[in-house]
Structure formats: structure tokens, C-alpha cells
Structure 1
């Protein structure tokens, strides 16, 4: 009989899906040959169709008229999940938008394996919402409900760092006390685990997961901080209004720098307000550029340019960030700018690691290996702070985008095969 289970890592920035393959598991191609799919959905107004991932982002950047939405996972656990968004004069519920994306992932996997998939282990961060257990439980319930509405009749959950631990364990020749560090687009998650080839054969691994923790910090936060410091000043962030020299409303800029908040800015009220203050603001030319961004809906283009600069600065000492205005404004960023932007977030990540170690009853010096997964582990300052806190740990870099999906599929095989 066909194995109709999968492990689904619905990520803030990228998603993966693991399936049965031979005697093991593998990641399923989700877009051409790529096993990752950017968690983006584009409502194409010209061809009246929905596009996903790179195809949708590409159509948006090329100027196709439509509506792009990214970082969909970020609305889980927030009031935004109950809101609707306007798509060509039709109100669409945010949970239905997430459902469309999940249904697309499921259809791609079923096309690849040639049969229906009804069983899934979904990944979840250790915390959807920091310090709010009710909201955190509601976020998990929403995700399960969305999955079942797409035809996943049997849904189990697994913590994302635990899934990454199961994937890392496949490479081990002997037992290790490991810290799993999963730094994604929206959350940072950690687990202390005893891993070995022998332990990998056990069905129940609860006793081997000694501690876990999480904090709502991720790559999209790094993007936002970099954008606020180096892009938003070009759009009037520091401008003053009227004789009393009142500051510009900061929420406009913070929302413009936050992936999942960008679509909420494109309202006549915001545009009319900005036009009304043009003749009393200290930098009218910059406010005119901000108006241009909102009218032409360039928010995601700006966010994509900032994200690309962040990624480039992980390897290069200096990059030029082109801000897509008319004309294009170029600003030079140095690796030190990224270090400075993420420094405080790095401290909070280390604090969350300490909480994980305390939960496990383990000192930092006792950790033998630290398994790094998730795209945000490539940010140099974050990596320095994490590794500097674990003096005896061997750093191991896993598949930055695929480890969790593979681990979820391993877990699914145990639960459903």
C-alpha cells in the first residue's frame, strides 16, 4: 500500500514537505526541482489566478498587477488571523489564504507521489506567542484546523527543533548531548537532546528531549531592524511635522518594514493623511516618496531588497542596497551595520538558549555539539553570540532550510507507517 503520510514544515519565509522515499524519507520538489517554496502567495489580477512561491514573487516584482502576501505564518496567534484582506474587491479571510497555500503544498506532494496524502505531522515553533499560553494554544488549534480543512484527516504536531534533532541524528555514529538551534524567519527554537544511532530506533523519544525553549525572533525581525535604520530615513522616518515639530507616526514605518503588515498600509486613509501634511512637514520630498510607495504598492519590493542585502552581508563586507523608488536610491551597507541591527536580538536568543539549558538541567559547557539550522543561523553576529556561549560544543551546520521538514517526515513514519 502507498505510504500516505508526510511531514510539513510551514515556515515564515520558506516551506518544505518531507515524504516517504524507499526505506527512508526525502524532501519533495515543490517548485520545479526546488525542495523549498517561499511562503508567498500572489493574487494575479491580470490573469485572474493565484501564484505561489518564486513564481508569485517574480510576477509581482516584474510589475504584474495583483496582491502579494508573505510571512503568512506570522498571523497565527495574532488578531490578524480573524481579519479579512481585500483581493480584487472581494474580502478573503486570512485563514483561507493560509489554507490556499497549504492546499497547494499538499497538491504538489500528491502529484509527486501519485496518490492522496491524508496523514501529516505539522511542525510548530516552541512558542507561537511569547508569554501567552492561551494565544499560543489558539495558534496551534488554528493551524490544525486549517490543515484538516485541506484534506489532512490525521494531523499530529511536533516541535520544530525536535524535528531538526531527529534529522541530525541520522548522521551520528555515537551518542551526543546536542543543542539544536533552529533560527527561522519568524521564530528561534531550541532543544537539548540525547541523540545516538541506538536511540534513533526507539518509537517514543520523549525521554531523550531534555529541554526546549523558543522566542519570537527571526529573520523577518532582522529585516525590519535593518530597514528601519537604513531605508525608512529615506522615506521621512526622521521628519518632523508642523511648528511643534511632532514626529512622524512611527507605526507607518514599522508596518512598512514588517513583511506581514505591509498590505495593511495600502489604504486611502493613510495616503490622504500623508498628502495632508505635505506642506507642514520638514522633509516633504521624502514624504512624497512614501506616498509613492503606498500608491504603487512597493512595500514588498523594498522588503525583498532589504532581505537580499541581509543575506549578502552574511558573506560580504559591503553591499549596495537599491531602494526601489523613482529614481532608485542606493545606500551602502557594511557588515557592521547588520551586526549592530541584530545585536540586541542576539542577546535575547542567547537568553532563550539559557532557558533551554536550565530546563534540561545542563550547563553550557556540557553541550557536545550544536546543530545549526534555519536561514538566520547564517547571520554572522547571531552565529558568533550563539557559539561563543557554548565553549565546548562542536558546531554542525545542517540543511538550513530542509532539516525540519526531513525530521517531521521521520516522525510521521514512526507515527503513521
Structure 2
């Protein structure tokens, strides 16, 4: 039987799975020919099926009755992992939904292996993990890793190890080198941003133990979904009553409703009878009741993920365009205009925190920013010009190396799996 292992990058926004079979590592197609699968699950209320990735998002956007869940990774290490959400009149635990998504990845990979003449179970995996699942809480961080490992084992992986995602990206980048470099690996994901400073070279790549080559690391719980949330609060939520004042005393609207509506993994928990009852009870006390009626419409028709998807798509488009527009799913529709300057403002404070995390990384490695020779950029948020430019500006002598924006971590995890299990 062919020897094969895998690396699984279960991401906040997207996931990849790379296979290491008979000495070579490659990304596995997960949806058609695409090796990238959006981390989305849709429960179809019409035929009671479960859909994943783009298929899940497409059915939701096309108006199929059902429930969409995204950013599942964000609940790891939080109290939300213990929560249940109502799906097809049943309460389903969030950890069960995560397990179902991992099971789908595993079965898809096994089907691909069978199709290329390597049938059999896939039972050894290296899971990617951020430097910090949870900032400033070591116990929650350990709990998050344990939950991820337990989910993989529950779905049939017998041998499960973990590796830091930026180290996995470093292992992938190293395959392309022809000389030694002092590199900063920048992995800006959907939910977390991670940094590693490492000495990389073709000679070092042949070594099994790389601990001495990892000079410093740091991470912060900031990612693309945080940029989405800030952009949504700034540019969308005012159309839904964010600035509405209530009653004779003109008290502000509860802000948590809008922040949750702008946060991918919290959206499903807003769709409750209690929230709708509350909003309907206060709508006539608002100074602009028509805005609250829009918010009621969004929650009643469960359009939160649709709005979040439009904001995310606008952010991505503004990496190349100067201005984009989209319509909020209301009757009548409401047009929203966004510019690259809006994105720049939305990411500014969080990017300052990213630079601080890089400074902690260089301090841990006992190197100065000007000593870094190359910056390997992976993760979708590295495409945002304001973020990328500030990072590169902090490292004046470093050569920017754009990696596979979404596949580098998964491929590096498979390379690590080959070393661990081979």
C-alpha cells in the first residue's frame, strides 16, 4: 500500500488539505478542480442535505431555504464551542459542525487518492494552528488546540500532530531557495496573523529537527474577518440603525447587535425570536424608525451572511479597484459605495497591531528589522495594499516574496507530515 499522509489547514475563511504520498507533497482538489475550499457549511432545509464551500455559499445566496455557517475556526477556545444553533428544528453543537467539516475534507481527500490509484484510509495528519488561538489566555489557547485535535480524531484520524501555520509556510517557501536566507514569514489569515523568523536554506531543508532554525515567533488574533467587521461597521451598519437614538432621552442603540451582525461566526446567534421582539418593541421610539425596520428585515430574512459576503467581496475588489458598489438585500435595495480609502481607514489600527507583533518577533529572534533579507507573504490579507505596504516599510532591506496566498500553509503541513510520519 502506498505511504501517504496529509497536512490540513483548517482556516477561518478558507481551508486546504495537502497530501504527501510516495515522497511528494501536493495540494488536493477539494471542490471541483479547486484546491481551496471556503470554510462554509450550509444546511439545506428543502432537501435536508449538507453542502460545503462554494456550493454552500451559492445555495445560500440563491435563496435556498436553510442555514449557513462560516468562520467556524473562530469558535475554538471560546465559550461558543459549547453553544448549539438551531438547524432544521434541531439543536446542533458547534463542535459537531466543525467535525462534519473536517470529515468532509478527509473523505474528499480519500476519494482523490482512490481516483489516482492509492485507495485506502487517510489516518495521519498534521493540523495547522495559529501561534495564538486566543490572545493573552494560555488556558484557552491549549483548550482550542485540544478541541481541534479531538475533532480530527473523532473523524477517523488516528495519528494527529499540530504545527504552527507560519512554520509550515516557511517549510513550503524553503523548497524554492538556492541559498541561505534570514526570512520573516508573514501569514495573515482570516482570523489570526502569525509571524516567524527563520534561517532557511536547501541544506537546512534536509534536516528533520528544525527547532534551532526558528529564531522567533509571534502572533495576534487579527485577520481578514476583523478588517471585514470594521469595514462593515463603518460603511454598512449606519444604513441599518447603528447611529439611531432611542426614546425621549435619546439613548444610543445597543452596539453589540451591529458588531455581531458584522462578525461572521456570531451572525447565526442573532436569529432569535427575542432579538426580533426587542427590535419591534423599540422601533417606534427611534429617531429614525425606518433604519430599524431595515435591521428587522435583515434578521427576519437571515441576510446577515449575505451582507458580510458583500463586504468581504468589496474589500477584496478594492485591492485593485479604487471604488466599488453593492446593494444591501432590502426592499427597496440600498446602495453602498466603498473606496480604497475606506479600506485603508478600516485596517489602520489593526495594522499598527500587526507591526507591533512583528516587532515582538524580531525582538524574540534578537535581530533588527533591517537584518531581515526576505519577507514571505501568505494569507489573503497580504493582498491589501495598505497592510502589505506598512509591513514592507517596517523591513527596509527585505525582499518581498509573494507566496501561494492560500496554499502555502497546507503544503508545508504535508511536508512536515512526511517528516513526522515517514
Category of TM-score, reference length = shorter chain: over 0.9
> Aligned with 1:43: secondary structure?
strand
Contact 1:323-1:330 at 8 Å conserved across structures = yes
C-alpha RMSD of matched pairs (Å) = 0.7
SS at match of 2:202: coil
Alpha carbons 2:3, 2:21 under 8 Å: kept: no
Give, in angstroms, the shift of residue 20 of structure 1. Answer: 2.0
1:322 corresponds to: 327
Aligned residue in 2 for 1:30: 30
TM-superposed deviation, 1:199: 0.3
Name the structure 2 match of 1:402: 407
Q: Is it true that 1:245 corresponds to 2:250 in the alignment? A: yes
Give per-residue Cα distances to partners, 1:325-379, cap 9 Å, x unaligned.
2222112111011000100000000000011111111110000000000000001
Query: Are 2:8 and 1:8 equivalent residues in the alignment?
Result: yes
The whole-number CA distance in structure 1 between the counterparts of 2:128 and 2:228 is 23
Q: Distance in 2 between matches of 1:237 and 1:38?
A: 29
Q: Which residue of 1 aligns with 2:117?
A: none
SS of residue matched to 2:85: strand
What is the rounded CA distance, in whole Å, between the counterparts of 1:96 and 1:22 in structure 2?
33
Query: Any idea what the Cα deviations from partners look like across 1:98-142, whole Å, max 9, x if unmatched?
Result: 000000000000000122100000000000000000000000000
In structure 2, the partner of 1:387 is 392
CA distance in 2 between partners of 1:140 and 1:53 (Å)? 23
C-alpha distance in 2 between matches for 1:345 and 1:324: 29
Partners of 2:82 and 2:3 in 1: CA distance = 35
CA distance in 2, matches of 1:143, 1:376: 24
CA distance in 1, matches of 2:288, 2:355: 40
- Within 2, Cα distance between the matches of 1:267 and 1:318? 35
The equivalent of 1:101 in structure 2 is: 101
Matched, 1:302 2:307: yes
Q: 2:294 aligns with which of 278, 289, 295?
A: 289
Match of 2:158 in 1: 153
Where 1:172 maps in the other structure, the secondary structure is: coil
Shift of 1:22: 5.3
Mapped to 1, the partners of 2:50 and 2:288 lie a distance apart of 39
User: Which residue, 210, 234, 238 being the options, matches 1:229?
Assistant: 234
In structure 2, what is the equivalent of residue 141 of structure 1? Answer: 146
Deviation of 1:21 (Å): 4.6
Partners of 1:331 and 1:133 lie apart in 2 by 41
User: 8 Å contact 2:197–2:215 — kept in the other structure?
Assistant: yes
Equivalent of residue 351 in structure 1, options 356, 359, 367 = 356
Q: Distance in 1 between matches of 2:78 and 2:343?
A: 28
2:52 paired with 1:47: no
Counterparts of 2:84 and 2:12, CA distance in 1? 19
Correspondence list, 1:49-64, <5 A: 49-64=49-64
Unaligned runs of 5+ in 1: none
Distance in 1 (CA, whole Å) between partners of 2:46 and 2:192 is: 35
- Whether the 8 Å contact between 2:4 and 2:21 is mirrored in structure 1 is no
Q: Residue 87 of structure 1 corresponds to which residue in structure 2?
A: 87
Which residue of 82, 103, 123 maps to 1:118? 123
How far apart, CA to CA, are the structure 2 residues paired with 1:236 and 1:28?
A: 44
Q: CA deviation at 1:321?
A: 2.7
Alignment: residue pair count? 417
Residues 230-260 of structure 1 deviation map (CA, whole Å, 9 limit, x = unaligned): 0000000000001100000000000000000
Q: Which secondary structure does the structure 2 equivalent of 1:96 belong to?
A: helix
Provide runs of 4+ in structure 1 moved above 4 Å.
Answer: none
Distance 2:196 2:73 in 1: 21
- Cα deviation for residue 23 of structure 1 reads 3.6
* TM-score normalised by the chain length of structure 1: 0.99
Q: Distance in 2 between matches of 1:285 and 1:76?
A: 37
Quote the Cα distance in structure 2 between the aligned partners of 1:23 and 1:412: 11
Matches of 1:173 and 1:408, distance apart in 2: 21
1:19-43 CA-to-partner distances (Å, cap 9, x unmatched) read 0255420000000000000000000
Q: Distance in 1 between matches of 2:326 and 2:176?
A: 39
Match of 1:274 in 2: 279
**Do residues 313 (structure 1) and 315 (structure 2) align?**
no
Long gaps (5+) in structure 2: 115-119
1:36-92, CA deviations, whole angstroms, 9 ceiling, x for partnerless residues?
000000000101110000001000000000000000000001000011111111111
